[in-house]
Structure 1
Amino acid sequence: MVLKLYAVSDGPPSLSVRQALAALDIPFELKDTNFGAGEHMAEEYAKMNPQKEIPVLDDDGFYLSESNAILQYLCDKYQPQSELYPKDPKARAIVNHRLCFNLSTYYANISAYTMAPIFFDYQRTDLGLKKVHIALDVFETYLQRLGTKYAAANQLTIADFQLINSTMTLEAIDFDFSKYQKKYRRNCSINLHSWYITW
Structure 2
Amino acid sequence: MPITLYSSIGDPSSLAVSQALEYLELEHELVNISVNDSDPMPQEITRNNPQMEIPVLDDNGFILVESTAILQYLAEQYGKDDTLYPKDPKARAVVNHRLCFHSSTYYSYISRGAVDQLFPDHPTTPPSPQITHTIIALDNFTTYLKLLGKKYAAGDTVTIADFQLITATMCLESINFDISPWPLVKNWYDTYKLEHPTLWKIVEAGMKELSKVVSQI
Q: Same fold by TM (over 0.5)?
A: yes
Segments ≥4 residues shifted beyond 6 Å: none
Q: Structure 1, unaligned stretches of length 5 or more? A: none
In the alignment, which residue of structure 2 is the partner of 1:61? 61
Displacement of 1:174 in angstroms is 1.2
Q: Which amino acid aligns with 1:191?
A: E
Q: How big is each residue's C-alpha offset from its partner over 1:56-85, in whole Å with a ceiling of 9 and x where there is no partner?
A: 001122111110000000011111623011
Greater shift after overlay, 187-196 or 104-113?
187-196
Instruction: Evaluate the alpha carbon distance shift between residue 145 and residue 196 of structure 1 in structure 2; reply closer, same or farther with a 3 A threshold.
Output: closer
Q: Which amino acid aligns with 1:185?
A: Y
Corresponding position: 1:149 with 2:151: yes
Q: Give the match's secondary structure for 1:6.
A: strand
Instruction: Evaluate the alpha carbon distance shift between residue 20 and residue 49 of structure 1 in structure 2; reply closer, same or farther with a 3 A threshold.
Output: same
Q: Give the match's secondary structure for 2:196.
A: helix
* Count of matched residue pairs: 196
Instruction: Evaluate the alpha carbon distance shift between residue 153 and residue 175 of structure 1 in structure 2; reply closer, same or farther with a 3 A threshold.
Output: same
Displacement of 1:38 in angstroms is 4.8
Q: Would you say the 8 A contact 2:113–2:132 is kept in 1?
A: no
Q: Which amino acid aligns with 1:166?
A: A
Q: Would you say the 8 A contact 2:3–2:59 is kept in 1?
A: yes
Q: Would you say the 8 A contact 1:57–1:65 is kept in 2?
A: yes
Q: Would you say the 8 A contact 2:192–2:200 is kept in 1?
A: no
Taking the aligned partners of 2:42 and 2:112, their CA distance within structure 1 comes to: 27
Taking the aligned partners of 1:71 and 1:194, their CA distance within structure 2 comes to: 18
In the alignment, which residue of structure 2 is the partner of 1:176? 178
TM-score (norm 2): 0.83
Q: How big is each residue's C-alpha offset from its partner over 1:116-172, in whole Å with a ceiling of 9 and x where there is no partner?
A: 975xx8965510100000010000000000000000000111100110110011012
Greater shift after overlay, 177-186 or 137-146?
177-186
- Which aligned pairs between 1:92-111 and structure 2 lie closer than 5 A? 92-111=92-111
Q: Would you say the 8 A contact 1:115–1:169 is kept in 2?
A: no
Instruction: Evaluate the alpha carbon distance shift between residue 188 and residue 123 of structure 1 in structure 2; reply closer, same or farther with a 3 A threshold.
Output: farther
Taking the aligned partners of 1:117 and 1:53, their CA distance within structure 2 comes to: 25
In the alignment, which residue of structure 1 is the partner of 2:50? 50
Q: Would you say the 8 A contact 1:81–1:87 is kept in 2?
A: no
Q: Would you say the 8 A contact 1:164–1:189 is kept in 2?
A: no
Q: Which amino acid aligns with 2:162?
A: D
- Which aligned pairs between 1:1-199 and structure 2 lie closer than 5 A? 1-38=1-38, 42=41, 44=43, 45-79=45-79, 81-114=81-114, 124=122, 126-182=128-184, 183-197=187-201
User: What RMSD in Å do the two structures reach over aligned CA positions?
Assistant: 2.2
Displacement of 1:178 in angstroms is 2.2
Displacement of 1:176 in angstroms is 1.7
Displacement of 1:112 in angstroms is 2.5
TM-score (norm 1): 0.90
Q: Would you say the 8 A contact 1:106–1:135 is kept in 2?
A: yes
Displacement of 1:10 in angstroms is 2.0
Greater shift after overlay, 178-187 or 48-57?
178-187
